[in-house]
Chain A
Amino acid sequence: MSYKGIYEEAFRLLRICNACRYCEGICPVWTVIEFRTDFGEEDVDYIANLCHHCTTCYYVCPYSPPHELNLNPPRTFSIIRSISYLKYSLQPFKKIYEKPIISAIILQVVGVMLALFVALYNLGFDVNSFFLASRYYDVFPYNQIYVGGFVLAVYVIIAFLYQGTRFVKGIGGFSGSFSRSLLLALRDALFHTWFRDGMVSCGYSGESYRMLKRLFWAPHAMIMYGMLLLIIATTAAAVYKNVLGILSPYPFYSIPVLLGVTGGVLTSLGVLVVLQGYRGSEVELRIREEERLNLALLITIMLPVITGLLTLTLRATNLMGVIYTIHMGTVIGFFLYIPFSKLNHAIFRYMALAKYHSELLSHELRSKAH
């Protein structure tokens, strides 16, 4: 379907849904639809990013296929979400969005090549010394890691900020208290509010009632908290080195290693379950664009995790240098790719939730004044 065609479909759907309103109360999507009488592209992008894809509305809708009106909100919103990542991205790099899997792989290769080159440079281009290196800092001196990490972090933060800002502008900004909305949205995100509340029927799929479906917040929590653990682990390592003066390698039971391993495993498992979940769902609810983004994210997360675990197991052998270098390469690839990955969703969803709260707040104000 063309860009225009997809938005036309979204407008049609929103107008029908707004005339029906039977889904009122399932989730914030239906609340904000009722705040509107006309819908523009900005509303569509906003509403699509507010949707958590629980699919309840699809199952309760009397107009879902094979009905001639052929309404499928989760599918329509999912396609729009994929488009919105592209639409508000750094435009020169939009090819990366269009071909996520190949891009993720290429960036992994680029990262590994870069790491290998730097490591060889550090080792005086002597391949043998790879197998002689016994400490991490022989391969990459701490300064390099510090500077490299800093540059990559700044790059990621700037990219996300830029895209997030464009998204917020694109959906028409906020209407109520900005700071309060951000706080309320943070609560929703951390506690997975809209995966549980309101959605009475997370387990609801027509005639069958799937208990498992009610747990659909779990893989998401695994990914989200896994990622947070990874960030904490990295910070902890920096604290060990700079504050406590302890140099790596850290023992298995140290905080950086434990948190890092747990975070990595949780994240990968979460992405795997999400991917599997898609496979298991009805054809009508499977969205190729979304599956590709998820697969690309899986690749880009799994490779650093696997090589990280390998590094951990092989760190006492003479393969340490090689495997550690590859691991660092995959980490670089990971950072290079994530501004263009499904992880944009974290920013977009968060901002959409914040806008939802800002609309609620200003709506409350208005009704009080009334």
Chain B
Amino acid sequence: MYLYEKIFDVIVIGGGNAGLVSAISAIEHGAKSLLLIEKAPKELRGGNSRYTRDIRYAHEDVDEFTTGIYGRDEMLNDILRVTGGRTNLELARIVVERSQELIQWMYRHGVPLVKAYRGALHLSRTNALSRTNALTNASFIGGGKALIDTYYRYLSARKEVKVLYNTAVTDIIVDDERVVGVKALMGSKEVVFKGNSVIVASGGFQANIGWLRQIWGGKADKFIVRGSRFDDGLLLMRLIELGAMPVGDPREGHMVAVDARAPRTDGGVISKVDAIPFGIVINKNCRRFYDEGEDEWLKRYAIWGKLVAEQPEAEAYVIFDSKMWGRFIPPAWPPYTASSLEELAVKLNLDPGRFIRVVKEFNDSVQPCRVNYERLDGCSTKGLDPPKSNWASRIDTPPFYAYKVVPGITFTYYGVMVDRDSRVLRGDGKPFENLLAAGEIMMGNILGRGYLGGLGLTIGGVFGLIAGERAVTL
């Protein structure tokens, strides 16, 4: 074991959005020396933020990044609604209050935010898309890699900052109520780094299949980890062992239905199957199990991962016909295609008799209706359980298509409880004096369940700002 001789003002664990914002915030609030420890190699750095695209924030007036007003009350209500009230209202309010300031901060730090004027294609009223390089002008390029590269560029220009890649923090060294440093593994070498305060931004445990297996049993082996393979939650586990107060339900998280052919980890956005509202979804036994047209897709996509996880062998099949092709963004792999339902069943390895029956039952229950995919059209089935409440349209025009889907886990909500200064709370309700947390590892404080697109980056960013500000004072 080696002891690194220097004592850092601030040690940040994790080099995704939350960690990077914390680091920059700490430097700008006077940290004289800062160590940022990233588990991934440089080429794969950035945790889940690498695969993000947009960030949600409240704005009381029309600004250049969004197409309309999205007030604080509205945003807070949205959080309350999607979580069903399972949120720490005080912290949720902080996120909402400081979200607009965060956007200005990001813009000032060169994060290329998309100007909304060309926004016909994907811009929404609530989210700002991030894109590369604001230094030149207002054109747009998407993606979290550009976001994190912008922050890393900032840090690499600072002499007082040291960034270590390929380094895994294995332990936090606690002395009474204070943290004195961290233990890290650099290759096979164990090194102790001392610091005056420590910010943990190491993510959830979604990439730890062993842990997922404890919760979901053997089904966990089917799960696709949509984000970084480095988010193994080991540090989260260690914090809880050290007495940190856990928050959230380990079964909850951001989970979507993804193509079964997706890479085991790091597939990002490309595996999401958006075909669900355009057809029916059945499980391995050829049974439908949930209303595919319950609500707008953007409010429902993040529940389908869990729905699929609850099916036999954690898999399901999305069935649609040629009338629907081209109506949704296709995933990266072509669908199963057949000229008859029977052939499709054979290709999918499903019982053709049952398969044809479930489609027929569905078709027979579809009422004559003018389907309109632009809105909730009320075109529903009759006498079917579960119903399809909107966009119900017969599956009758070959070729027939199918995607096999499995649960795709984006991030888990189970984490450590924090106070309004983002300090990690212990079981006795008191905080560790100088141990702070930001990002997915404390997401469960605000998101008890459900999800609002783009909120992950907001929570990571706002608590990153707070952690950086506070860390230098502790």
Contacts and interface: CB of A to CB of B under 8 A. Distances in A.
Contact of B270 (A16, A65, A200, A207): A16
Nearest to B42: A207
B226 to A, nearest CB: 12
A25 B152 contact: no
B143 interface: yes
Contacts of A68: 263, 266
A62 B132 CA distance: 12
A226 to B, nearest CB: 27
A208 interface: yes
Interface stretch (B180-188, B322-330, B350-358): B322-330
B133 A19 contact: no
A60 B141 contact: yes
Nearest to A200: B139
Q: Chain A interface secondary structure, helix, strand, loop or mixed? A: loop
Interface string B69-100: 00000000000000000000000000000000
A56 B270 contact: no
Interface string A262-306: 000000000000000000000000000000000000000000000
B268 A37 contact: no
Q: A56, A63, A69, A200: which has the most chain B beta carbons within 10 Å?
A: A200
Interface residues of A, number: 39
A20 interface: yes
B450 interface: no
A15 B145 contact: no
Interface string A36-73: 01000000000000000000110111110111110000
A19 B122 CA distance: 13
Interface in B130-156: 131-146, 149, 152-153, 156
A66 B133 contact: no
A199 interface: yes
Given A15-B334, A22-B53, A206-B149, A66 B43 contact: yes
B149 A62 contact: no
B50 interface: yes
Interface string B218-241: 000000000000000000000000
Contacts of B152: 207
Nearest to B46: A62
A66 B118 CA distance: 33
Contacts of A214: 136
Contacts of A204: 132-133, 141, 146
B214 to A, nearest CB: 27
B156 A19 contact: no
Contacts of B132: 56, 59-60, 200-201, 204
A25 B263 contact: no
A19 B141 contact: no
B139 A198 contact: yes
B173 to A, nearest CB: 31
Contacts of B135: 203, 209
A62 B143 contact: yes
Contacts of A12: 332
A200 B142 contact: no
A190 B330 CA distance: 36
A8 interface: no
Contacts of A56: 132, 141
B329 A18 contact: yes
Contacts of A65: 43
Given A15-B332, A56-B141, A200 B53 contact: no
A132 to B, nearest CB: 61
Contact of A62 (B51, B118, B326): B51
A15 B133 CA distance: 26
Nearest to A13: B332
B149 A201 contact: no
B112 interface: yes
Interface of B: 43-44, 50-51, 53, 112, 114, 118, 121-122, 131-146, 149, 152-153, 156, 263, 266-272, 325-326, 329-334
- Identify the 6 closest CB pairs spanning chains A and B, nearest first: A22-B142, A201-B133, A25-B140, A22-B143, A200-B139, A19-B270
15 contacts: A19-B272, A19-B331, A19-B332, A20-B332, A23-B143, A25-B131, A26-B139, A26-B141, A56-B141, A57-B141, A60-B141, A69-B267, A200-B131, A201-B133, A207-B153
Given A20-B269, A24-B142, A56-B132, 8 more contacts: A21-B122, A23-B143, A37-B325, A62-B50, A66-B44, A67-B44, A201-B132, A201-B133
Interface of A: 12, 15-16, 18-26, 34, 37, 56-57, 59-63, 65-69, 197-204, 206-209, 214
